[in-house]
Amino acid sequence: MSTKMKILVTGANGFIGQRLCETLLNAGYFVRGAVRHFPEGLHSLKSGNNAEFVFIDNVSPETNWSMALKGIDCIIHLAARAHIMRETSGDPFTVFRNVNAEGTSLLARMAADAGVKRLVFLSTVKVNGEGTDKHRFTERDTPNPRDDYSISKWEAEQALHNISDATGLEIVILRPPLVYGQGVKANFLRLLDMVNKNIPLPLSMVNNKRSMIYIGNLVDAIIRCIEHPDAVNKTFLVSDGQDVSTPELIRMIAGAMGKKARLFPCPAPLLKMIGKVVGKSDEIERLTGSLRIDSAKIRRELSWTPPFTMEQGLRMTADWFISNEKNI
């Protein structure tokens, strides 16, 4: 591994970006973090010989990346407009497309012009679809994105391959499922809180299977894609490699917290009906539906093995939550 390779990380002050930057620095890379504001939590990038910040207001079709790209060998593009539960934009798809598709396309074109060798793009398994039945998602599946976020990510993937064909810029695409770990937010954070508070949950009858990925495993996979010659112009689905049902997940979280899970039965159709009534259909679907990933390709072609088991990842996540409960 080169100790001189210069990496631009967009979204460096995000959940994944902070962990990635810290790990890259520890591995000897030079890291330039593209951020919208100074990240209080990102202590490892507080300027040194191997780290610096560059401020980027927004990712858009008009963003000027010139300063950020100077001397860069590889970009890890994390910055994106994520799925928003309470949408406020009058035209959300246009906003998603501007940031995730057109903004990514501009970055890739400018990167190619600046002599950047490779761009690693964090997409989403939602490009494959919203859920699985009998078969796991693979890279061979016909994409079936269903919402504005996943459609914009799929458009970005296609644009990146077109730019690669035209310019020679090497592209690597990763499609992870739900990412958990220290610093996690949204639904997973709420689940941690409910389990910690011993709130009874009506989920003991749920019989699903879902793939997830611990942040430490995702960061390790991203770093594997930076220099590996067999990653060029490929797409990889990536996960912990262990599928769990929602009740199993809750029991594992409870165990990591030193508690006993409090689950009681409620038929899945009734849960879904309640979800519709209260406007929480998406959340209920994620709790009751299945989404399984086959990550054999990245393991086989890049010789990648997750450094952490799911049990280890959940324990570290639970320890972080308990230690920071008052500040979350």
Catalytic residues: 149
Give the max Cα distance, the chain. 58
289: how many CB neighbours lie within 10 A of its CB? 18
Q: Which residues of 230-266 are buried (b: 16+ CB within 10 A; e: fewer)?
A: ebeebbbbbbbbebbbbbbbbbbbbbbbeeebebeee
Q: How far apart are CA 19 and CA 109, in angstroms?
A: 27
Q: How far apart are CA 328 and CA 325, in angstroms?
A: 5
Contact 27, 223 (CB under 8 A): yes
* 142: DSSP letter: P
Q: How far apart are CA 328 and CA 308, in angstroms?
A: 24
Which residues, other chains included, contact 90 with Cβ-Cβ below 8 Å and sequence gap of 6+? none
Residue 257 sits at φ, ψ, to 5 deg, of -90, 0
Contact 178, 126 (CB under 8 A): no
Contact 51, 25 (CB under 8 A): yes
Find, among 253, 119, 258, the residue nearest to 194 by Cα.
253
If DSSP codes are grouped into helix, strand and coil, which group holds residue 107?
Answer: helix
